[in-house]
Structure 1
Amino acid sequence: MPADNIPILESILTCPCCGYVKREIMPTDACQFYYECNGCRSLLRPIPGDCCVFCSFGTVKCPPVQMQSCRCG
């Protein structure tokens, strides 16, 4: 996590089905459980053990995980 305990809000999601890549802004107050790929329209869900699609398919873990305040598990 960057200095001053400010979470990174931008992540690059990569669809595991088609490889489509998109830069997204993550919600700061919740984990995002579903995400529809803009490339193939697949509905992405977290890999078992991850709290959200950003933790599973993004370049950066979600803000609640970064802040160690995730209550999804």
Structure 2
Amino acid sequence: MNTIITKSGLTCPNCGYRKEDEMPEDACQFFYECENCHTVLKPKQGDCCVFCSYGSVKCPPVQADKSCR
């Protein structure tokens, strides 16, 4: 069994600010506000959440090969 990673470094595509944050283990996060420039991040088309789009690690449901939707 693979270990699920619950922290991901999220990088804002608008200003480049990066913050390591805890991901929800049983759900996807659809919105995230950048602490630096206050841009509200949304998933890119085809991704289930902001961590899959802008994070250094995919979200826990994707890591576990489960559906996020």
TM-score greater than 0.5 by the shorter chain: yes
Q: TM-score if structure 2 supplies the norm length?
A: 0.95
Gaps of 5+ in 2: none
Report the count of equivalent residues.
69
Q: TM-score if structure 1 supplies the norm length?
A: 0.90
Aligned position for 1:19: 16
Gaps of 5+ in 1: none
Root-mean-square deviation over aligned CA pairs: 0.8
Match of 1:5 among 2, 5, 14: 2
Question: Once the two structures are aligned, what percentage of the paired residues are identical?
Answer: 58
Query: Could you list the runs of 4 or more consecutive aligned residues of structure 1 that deviate by over 6 angstroms after TM superposition?
Result: none
